[in-house]
Structure 1
């Protein structure tokens, strides 16, 4: 298929199936890192821009401003190119440097927040404040405010359609939750198709989305840190269970999946896979269990996949590998070599 623009590459991502014979289940990974900006956020970033243009909030030749840890920013940078817009990304020290480099390569202007923040502290409150301030000062600028933007959740309707076409019946969906846009959009859509689909949202330990005490964490682009408020886009009513995963569980699982299957996934996706396997083996969920590979490990080679970096921060735990080996025994791994259920048309 010959396409006309890069944004035509968004969506129609493939699915990788890892069978778990002991539980008569499959963990179905939708490879969202195959989107042109490298993450699931490409879908909603473009949708937010289109919604703002249609509503007249954003004019041709205007300026998009957004607070981002990187993935939404990459998606907005691509959408800005498509529609002839200027894009300013407001970031902090917590964002992966490779993501910032990609945004710059795509023509985005990068603004760093100022302040003394811990290495594992997400400065999202200051990011949002600065983004709103810039948008108010620059003529023709719009602060996208993904946390409260209804077009965020609305950007995942194609994801749901694709999953249903690729997988058929979805018994459970496990996804990470940050602003809540992807979790809300996907959970709502799947429950319209099948109200019995179980939806599990995973946040980092230290995030406050589900009312637990807040503390710093290293997982990037997910969760809501202490001091921030949960975005209006998050709809708790479509989520059956909210759970937390530690940085160590998330990062060790990402590294395990890379070395056992050859698939590089981001840290937050490692956390989602860990919790999905845990709940499959506890019997809480089963059958066709879908999870999104929200982004790829290529963006975290200097952190999640750097053993020295992990060791310096006490984020290594061989017991997690032993646990994953137990959940995916050698016989099961041999039977579960990832199989493409559907290849991208592109």
Structure 2
């Protein structure tokens, strides 16, 4: 480059105004530090090992996600969605945040929104439990109701556009916001905690699907690490996931689940069927009965999706024992049952839904004690 051209460039550069103070970048750095601080404070949850005399040769482990600060597995997802939005420049100082959620994700997102001093609006069906609504409000969030579960997506997008805010969109972003290769995700945490157990590599992981993000993370991590573990995803009545996986048709739709937090009326973008080894559809009455049985045996209440997980785990265990197989099985306690006092733990609500859980409870208890089959003779 000639001396003249160099002098010209230097002269032009000297005429540039001083670099502006980048307040947005400073806010983003502070926000990420706050989110990471929460992660360090709640870096792991307990791996509970209940004992069941009837499960011969099988060890059961339950990852207790109810101990997160917001009381559910969705605490991990919400933190990941916030980090994803900030690092992609979508969440800035003063951004209004919108989510389509039936409860637990919105509770966790309301917590993080308050941590960052951001407005948060949850779009949810009128049928959402009162306890979850109150939890969202207690963290400073707002609730916006729709009549049908299938309306939450378009209404959330509309509100985001109206407020010039950001739609967090858990159903699309769950599988991409989480680093499935590690970084203390749910899968890495499970295998690290299992490392010193008698059967450190589980025969099966059993997980229900809401966004599909957790099952995607589990399935990807299993493949990435080369484990022999298989993944069973359990679905519920009136959900699209099971039929979509069985038929290979992502366009299938359904009525929508009454087990809060799992099951969807459509196949969500975060659902990754290719990493799933097996799926089961669990009757709602079995999910709720299993929730009651497990709560009685753990001496504390668990939620409905945990009942689905536990009944699915029992089904897998029954199949293993019939085949003369043993090993360890791992599933999740997704949230506490305290949020469902008006529904799943309310005899009047169960009767109104036409759900007689007593025969199922007797059968599940008998199975766990080695005194009968899992399914009742109805």
TM-score band by shorter chain is: 0.7 to 0.9
The alpha-carbon deviation at position 151 of structure 1 amounts to 3.6
In 1: Cα distance, 2:226 partner to 2:285 partner: 34
Contiguous gaps of at least 5 residues in structure 1: 116-122, 332-346
SS at match of 2:329: strand
- Does the Cα contact within 8 Å between 2:208 and 2:309 map onto a contact in 1? yes
In structure 2, which of residues 179, 188, 191 is the aligned counterpart of residue 161 of structure 1?
188
TM-score by length of 2: 0.78
The alpha-carbon deviation at position 71 of structure 1 amounts to 0.6
The alpha-carbon deviation at position 206 of structure 1 amounts to 1.3
Contiguous gaps of at least 5 residues in structure 2: 1-35, 196-200, 245-252, 372-378
In structure 2, which of residues 274, 277, 285 is the aligned counterpart of residue 237 of structure 1?
274
**In the alignment, is residue 131 of structure 1 matched against residue 163 of structure 2?**
no
The alpha-carbon deviation at position 75 of structure 1 amounts to 1.2
Q: Which structure is richer in relative contact order (CA contacts within 8 A, separation 6 or more)? A: 1
Paired position in structure 2 for 1:324: 364
Paired position in structure 2 for 1:221: 261
SS at match of 1:230: coil
**In the alignment, is residue 190 of structure 1 matched against residue 230 of structure 2?**
no
Paired position in structure 2 for 1:311: 351
The alpha-carbon deviation at position 84 of structure 1 amounts to 2.5
Paired position in structure 2 for 1:337: none
TM-score by length of 1: 0.85
SS at match of 1:170: coil
1:7-61 deviations in whole A, cap 9, x for unaligned?
5443410011123454311110111011111110110111111111111112122
Paired position in structure 2 for 1:258: 295
SS at match of 1:275: helix
Paired position in structure 2 for 1:17: 49
Superposed, 1:1-346 pairs within 5 Å as: 8-20=40-52, 22-113=55-146, 115=147, 123-139=148-164, 141-149=165-173, 150-154=175-179, 157-168=184-195, 169-211=201-243, 214-225=254-265, 229-283=266-320, 286-329=326-369
In 2: Cα distance, 1:244 partner to 1:9 partner: 36
The alpha-carbon deviation at position 143 of structure 1 amounts to 0.5
